[in-house]
Amino acid sequence: MYGKLYSACLHGIDGVTIQVEVDLSNGLPQTSIIGLPDSSIRESVERVRAAVKNCGFTYPMKRVTINLAPADLRKEGSSFDLAIALGILVTSEQIDFSPESLLILGELALDGSLRPINGVLPMVEKAKRDGLKGVLLPYENAPEAALIGGMNVYGLRHIKELTGSQADGLIEPDRPQSETHSPGRSAPFTVHLSKLLYTKSDIENHGCVNTPDDVVEDYSDVIGQPHVKRALTIAAAGMHNIMLIGPPGTGKTMLMKRLPTILPPLSEQESLTTTKIYSAAGKLKHTGSLMTRRPFRSPHHTISSGGLIGGGTIPRPGEVSLAHKGILFLDELPEFSRHVLEVLRQPLEDREVTISRARAVLTFPAHFMLAASMNPCPCGFWGNDHPQQRCTCSPRRIGQYRAKISGPLLDRIDLQVEVPRPKDRYDTAHQLSSREMREQVMAAQLLQSTRYRHLPFSWNSELFGSHLRRYAALDSASASLLQTTIDTLGLSMRAYDKILKLARTIADLDQAECIGSHHVAEAIQYRQLDQLPVYV
């Protein structure tokens, strides 16, 4: 006897549809799973056996062979449990079920209850592209699956629901005996999927609506620092990398953590991609709708390079991918391992990460804004004019501290802004709010999206090659100013391009069509670390 169902697994952050083939034949009772399964899939045999028996069904006393096709793709995870169990029950004719156009996902407990799994969104999206019409999965995952339009979503809490023994019996047995069944053998239970159908109204009834968190942090809370707020507005308007440098207690971290409040919301395509990443990583907290706010990731400085860019035997997304289309904030940048920081160089240029392992080679998206903060020296008070807080670091020690950040990485940071101690901590004058800053950012972003509507990018920070020369063209005075600066400071050609992109964003904030000398001058003055003395 032979049966076939459809399930899925993750390959990176993308779903892959898997055929689950079940064959029952005469022979010694044993169950074999083939098709490059990992240990969690091999262990599913015992979970399925216990769940089937504890739910009142009979586990076949035959030779059971389960094939996961395609056989050359390694599979992992517990999403195959429900498909294997239903495949055995359908093939042994204990239930009457036609799953030809249905994706089946879910992990089984020993008592037959369904446990939620990770990565439902990309798997359901792939199933829809492959022509499947619906998905049967744990009820807790139903809101996430419902995000993919055009798919019928069926939520299941327990396999016992298939027996009709509960109040909401979803299976009604055919009591008359079928001609195909031998005398004394009861007819199979017939599955009625319509009673399992999950609708959008169920999301509201179970409190799963994904509402954005209330914004309790605002830039109006920050006293003073108008030039830093200006720099943050520029960074948000063009998605430019930014670093704040200043003594401890000046509000660097406070300023950075409010950066998401001025960023524009995710577009529809960005929202889908970001939500898929979080679903694959098992970090999707709200499953009633797609993510609309840009992610903000702030890993601790003890993080490993694998945790930052992703890794594992079968690679999983790291912090740079979880920050996709959002912000990766590295507080106290020199405290991170130099090796860990150096792995950021390639993602900052290519906006994706390719991880090669013996078992898989996967590419994850990693288009993020790098936000960082640091002290000017180990004690933190270099350049401070307060008599009670003088710097005690030697020039050599300061040089060693700054050398933890390599020149190539520093070259990739567009804005390097000094954050001094506020002069008047009790100034009650008007403080620029997040709403006012966001309005400026949205106006500049609208100009960029219109300008680049026929191009494969939408931010000034993504300009390159001929597009950079076209959209960030300079007049003779501006070009002369920039060339003089490059020659004086000895900046690289990458820094030259960074200043051009930054000047284009500053001009957009001023609603100016052409870049002027004052835009270039402002962009140049944000290269603070290039202008500091070098210690050896």
pLDDT tier at 74 (50, 70, 90 boundaries)?
confident
DSSP string across 41-86: HHTHHHHHHHHHHHTT----SSEEEEEEESTTS-B-SSTTHHHHHH
Mean pLDDT of 450-478: 93
100 vs 166: which has the higher pLDDT: 100
CATH number 3.40.50.300 is the correct assignment for the domain at 219-422+432-531 = yes
Give the other-Cβ count within 10 Å of 130's Cβ: 14
The CA distance from 524 to 536, in Å, is 25
Q: Summarize pLDDT for 108-161 with one digit per residue, the tens.
A: 999 999 999 999 999 999 999 999 999 999 999 999 999 898 899 999 999 877
Which uninterrupted H or E stretch holds 495? Answer: helix 493-509
The phi, psi pair for 432, rounded to 5°, reads -60, 130
Residue 171 pLDDT > 80, yes or no?
no
The CA distance from 420 to 247, in Å, is 7
The CA distance from 330 to 344, in Å, is 11
Q: Summarize pLDDT for 321-362 with one digit per residue, the tens.
A: 999 999 999 999 999 999 999 999 999 999 999 998 877 788
Q: Summarize pLDDT for 365-387 with one digit per residue, the tens.
A: 999 999 999 998 888 787 666 66
The CA distance from 28 to 64, in Å, is 9
Residue 19 has a pLDDT of 95
Q: Where are the beta strands (DSSP E) in 255-323?
A: 296-297, 310-311, 316-317
Residue 490 pLDDT > 90, yes or no?
no
Average pLDDT taken over every residue of the chain: 86
Residue 298 pLDDT > 50, yes or no?
yes
pLDDT tier at 172 (50, 70, 90 boundaries)?
very low
487 vs 207: which has the higher pLDDT: 487
Mean pLDDT of 384-404: 80
Residue 200 pLDDT > 90, yes or no?
no
Of 1.20.20.10, 3.30.230.10, 3.40.30.10, 3.40.50.300, which CATH number belongs to 2-205?
Answer: 3.30.230.10
The CA distance from 496 to 508, in Å, is 19
7 Cβ contact list (under 8 Å, min separation 6): 17, 18, 20, 79, 80, 82, 83, 103, 104, 105
pTM: 0.87
Where do the domains of the chain lie? 2-205, 219-422+432-531
Q: Summarize pLDDT for 130-141 with one digit per residue, the tens.
A: 999 999 999 999
Residue 176 has a pLDDT of 39
